[in-house]
Structure 1
Amino acid sequence: MSIVESVLAQVPEPLRSILIKHRELLKFAIVGGTTFVIDNGLWFLMKLTVLESKPITAKAIAIIIATIVSYVLNREWSFRTRGGRERHHEAALFFLISGGGVAINLVPPYVSRYVLDLQVPHVERWVQEVADFMSGSVVGMLLAMFFRFWGFRRWVFPQANARPRIVRTDPGDEDLGHS
């Protein structure tokens, strides 16, 4: 039994059926949560240290690193049975769609900082940081997430069941065929 099956076995019906039906979306959301932590951890680390005067640049770098992690996790887990394209073509489309997601994600913090002027010295430091988080990590990320999910399913991994499921039979290994 896989880890996912073990967790799903603990979930009561009818929620379990909904989660199984939308398993791909659930996995995409878990990958998104992981990359959310990577993105924000790197962003705040850079914008509070080496890129203090360039918060949008810091956000772009953090998003790009999180996007690389996202490609690996989405290809090998969320959409692992989808495909329909050669790997280099798939990767190029993934990063093209993700580039659109980066642009979408950067618009709200840019507007917050440079249009609404929510930055020191015009506002207090805590207001600036809350505005950065809300605009870049909530609004921008949600808009980009919807765009990427749509784009990945439509163009990057268009065909369901295009790749075979991998089943490991060694004792103690997770059965990847059912997760």
Structure 2
Amino acid sequence: MRADRIMPERWNKLLREALKFGIVGGVNTVINFVVFNALALTIFHNGQLKANVVATVFATITSYFMNRHWTYRDRPKSAIRRETTLFVLFNATGLVIELGVLGIAKYGLDMHSLLWLNVFKFLGLGLATIFRFYTYRTFVFRAAPAPEVALPSVATVRQNDHHLDGDVIATFDPVAELAEVVEEFESAGSARRHR
């Protein structure tokens, strides 16, 4: 049995987005680690945090294009400036999370081995990825607003069906319904007074 028959559409969409986000994240994780290790072994031999910044910035750029044009391609593209600003802001926050974990390993736990730094980089990247997934789908690549459902006006209802009574028409117009209730209340009050 297919998953789309078991789960509601909302969960299916979330699952598809998470799967695409995971694939994009996997590709960018490989890019991030390759760039990080290449820089840590050459240019930034003792500057692993600097190597991490460069690697994360490089992976962030590729991540934006992959997420914008594949993972969230069904989302509206009307606010690119807002989207890009939030993407950069949330990725900078993700970078701070990664750097915090890597900094704790290097300076707090005095681990300077590239193997251990890669392990802690992986942990920091995992925490930052959870943060990024939530913020991308909630704030950056927002879903299009649901279309508003317009109720027919009283005039349209009257044109379409000349035999409607006041009760049906009142259900389409809250003001008319309130007026009807007030009218019934007033007529009930005047009937009591005349007895």
Instruction: Normalising by structure 1, report the TM-score.
Output: 0.72
1:84–1:159: 8 Å Cα contact kept in structure 2? Answer: no
2:60 is aligned, of 51, 64, 67, to 67
State the 1:161 CA deviation: 7.9
Gaps of 5+ in 1: 1-11, 120-127, 163-179
**Which is greater in Rg?**
2
Structure 1: which amino acid aligns with 2:142? Answer: P
Question: What does residue range 8-27 of structure 1 map to in structure 2 within 5 Å?
Answer: 13-14=2-3, 21=13, 22-27=15-20
Question: What does residue range 67-106 of structure 1 map to in structure 2 within 5 Å?
Answer: 67-83=60-76, 85-106=78-99
Question: What does residue range 113-128 of structure 1 map to in structure 2 within 5 Å?
Answer: 113-119=106-112, 128=113
Q: Deviations over 1:50-72 (max 9, x none)?
A: 11010000011000000000000
State the 1:109 CA deviation: 1.0
Q: Give the corresponding residue for 1:30.
A: 23
Once superposed, which parts of structure 1, at least 4 consecutive aligned residues long, lie more than 2 Å away? 12-21
CA distance in 2, matches of 1:161, 1:76: 20
Instruction: Give the structure with the higher percent helix.
Output: 2
The 3-state SS of whatever aligns with 1:71 is helix
CA distance in 2, matches of 1:94, 1:49: 30
State the 1:15 CA deviation: 9.5
Q: CA RMSD in A?
A: 2.3
CA distance in 2, matches of 1:33, 1:161: 30
Change (3 A) 1:13 1:111: same
Instruction: Normalising by structure 2, report the TM-score.
Output: 0.67
Identity of aligned residues (%): 34
Gaps of 5+ in 2: 147-195
Structure 2: which amino acid aligns with 1:45? Answer: A
Q: Deviations over 1:38-88 (max 9, x none)?
A: 000000000000110100000110000000000000000001112365111
The question of 1:58 aligning with 2:39 is answered no
